[in-house]
Amino acid sequence: MAWWKAWDLIESLKSELSGNFERLIVALMYPPFKYDAKELYDAMKGVGTSEGVIIEILASRTKAQIKEIIKAYKEEYGSDLEEDIKSETSGYLEQILVCLLQGERDNATLYVDTALALQDAETLYAAGEKIRGTDEIQFITILCKRSATHLLKVFEEYQKLAGKSIEDSIKSETHGSLEDAMLAIVKCTRNIRCYFAERLYHALKGAGTDDGTLIRVIVSRSEVDLNLIKPEFKRIAGKSLSSMILDDTSGDYKTALMNLCGSD
């Protein structure tokens, strides 16, 4: 379907539907890259910025996917995504998001230079646990510019050096949205399905539901790896994704989510 026709259909749906059901159905009408672009735009428009949405998308997408998102964002909103992120964030968070956006990670690299991995682990150790304070730039550079395969070796070497995981060091050395961004990169590197399972669990647990995250993750992963995310969710939550959706949602919204989620 041509995008302009899909856009007309979206406008028609908006006039007929409402609430979270409308939000979910409209999300399903967008091609993947345009949907990511829309979520990023919505996260930055108006007062305040939904930093968690930006972190989730940029930390979990590949270099090739990010290039397509940047292109879709420019086409849809006539604006430069990097410039918009710079205008909405600041400090080290801005630097790590821009670094992710520039897509210098080579996710396809399988070869690991053990000597370089050890050097990177030593650099991270010297930038955090070994000193008073933290050299955030070293963390940002290594986390954003190394391949996933290489980073796994770095994390292994770091554990040996520091006697603690890279996640524990990040938690003790940083805070707030910068901590969230660094942890998201590490989690996506280790196991991206576990990362999305955690996002879904936190969206559903406790009082109230984070419907924005629930819809975004279900829609963006439904035809990618949702069936592989579900076992990770059950391991974390102690119950199935479908059972928690049944408990936390209602009406046509619940029916649509269950159709996308499928049975366990």
Domain that holds residue 127: 114-174
Helix H or strand E encompassing 238: none
To the question of pTM greater than 0.75 for the whole model, the response is yes
- pLDDT at residue number 5: 61
In a domain, 152, yes or no: yes
What value does the mean pLDDT take over residues 164-190? 96
In a domain, 237, yes or no: no
240-251 per-position pLDDT tens digit:
999 999 999 999
Q: What's the CATH code of the domain at 139?
A: 1.10.220.10
What value does the mean pLDDT take over residues 183-194? 97
- pLDDT at residue number 55: 98
Annotated binding-site positions for Ca(2+) = 206, 208, 248
Closest CA to 143 of 128, 160, 164, 163: 128
In a domain, 183, yes or no: no
In a domain, 242, yes or no: no
What value does the mean pLDDT take over residues 83-95? 96
131-150 per-position pLDDT tens digit:
666 789 999 999 999 999 99
Rounded Cα–Cα distance for residues 105 and 189 (Å): 11
| pLDDT over 90 at 229, yes or no | yes
- pLDDT at residue number 93: 97
In a domain, 157, yes or no: yes
In a domain, 170, yes or no: yes
Rounded Cα–Cα distance for residues 85 and 81 (Å): 6
In a domain, 138, yes or no: yes
| pLDDT over 80 at 45, yes or no | yes
- pLDDT at residue number 171: 94
Residues of the chain by 3-state class (helix, strand, coil), percent to 5:
75, 0, 25
Domains identified in the chain, total number: 1
Give me 77's structure tokens. Answer: 């909103």
What value does the mean pLDDT take over residues 114-127? 93
Rounded Cα–Cα distance for residues 172 and 161 (Å): 16
| pLDDT over 60 at 109, yes or no | no
When pLDDT is cut at 50, 70 and 90, the band that residue 107 belongs to is low
Check: CB of residue 189 under 8 Å from CB of residue 148: yes
Annotated binding-site positions = 206, 208, 248
When pLDDT is cut at 50, 70 and 90, the band that residue 1 belongs to is low
Report how far Cα 170 is from the mean position of its chain's Cα atoms: 17
Higher pLDDT, 217 or 106: 217
| CA distances, 66 to each of 3, 40, 105, 233, 255 (Å) | 20, 12, 11, 26, 32
When pLDDT is cut at 50, 70 and 90, the band that residue 12 belongs to is confident
In a domain, 121, yes or no: yes
